[in-house]
Amino acid sequence: MIPYGTGRPLLTPVDLDGSRRSARLRRLGLGKRADASFDSFDAFADRVAEVTATPFSIVNFIDENRQFFAGLHTPAGIRGGADLGAAAAAGSGGRYLARDHGYCPHVLVRRKALVLEDVCDYPRFAGNPVVDDIGIRSYLGAPLIDRTGVALGTVCAVDTVPRAWGRAGLDTIKLPAREFVVQLERREAVNP
């Protein structure tokens, strides 16, 4: 565990690929709201929310210091992330989140999908700030591993109530993650 600024233990796993990922994100022009092509990322997040029937879904790129919601679906359709409450940092319309918040950093380091039917059932995850700040109770997330083998971020769906995702939920979130990686590869081929 890494010490947290408040003296509590930080349960976010150590990320040994952070520098490599950050360089790859910069090379791809990802990790910050740069141009209109990010609208397609929002549309992708909308589709994930529809498929999973969740109020929130995110296409999330993670660098060494923070998370960036390149694609965002919220219940009210607010693209700036205001629905994410105090957990979303100011700047870029609230599309940034501290690196130690949420479950996507775990997916990134594990390089495997994660299903949490009720985050409160897992002591390691129940104390995460997003539980209190946003009210997240269930989570589905899958890594975005590009052609170079770098895990750039995640696609995730979250709900404010426990959900019985099961194996079907795991399969459901893996498919859009694979689709999104293909979308990134096409984007890179057009903008080498």
End-to-end, the C-alpha distance of the chain in Å comes to: 38
The fourth-level CATH superfamily of domain 2-190 is GAF domain (3.30.450.40)
What tokens does 119 get?
């985050």
Q: Which residues contact 27 (CB under 8 A, 6 or more apart)?
A: none
Q: Residues 48-71: what's their mean pLDDT?
A: 92
Per-residue pLDDT tens digits for 20-34: 999 999 888 887 765
* C-beta separation of 172 from 52 below 8 A: yes
Per-residue pLDDT tens digits for 121-141: 988 888 777 777 778 899 999
Per-residue pLDDT tens digits for 10-21: 467 788 888 999
Per-residue pLDDT tens digits for 87-123: 444 334 568 888 888 899 999 999 999 999 999 998 8
CA angle 8, 13, 15 (to 5 degrees): 130
pTM above 0.75, yes or no: yes
* C-beta separation of 187 from 85 below 8 A: no
Q: Which residues contact 168 (CB under 8 A, 6 or more apart)?
A: none
* C-beta separation of 145 from 113 below 8 A: no
Task: Give the span between the Cα atoms of 94 and 86, in whole angstroms.
Answer: 9
Nearest to 114 by CA among 13, 105, 21: 105
Q: Where are the domains of the chain?
A: 2-190
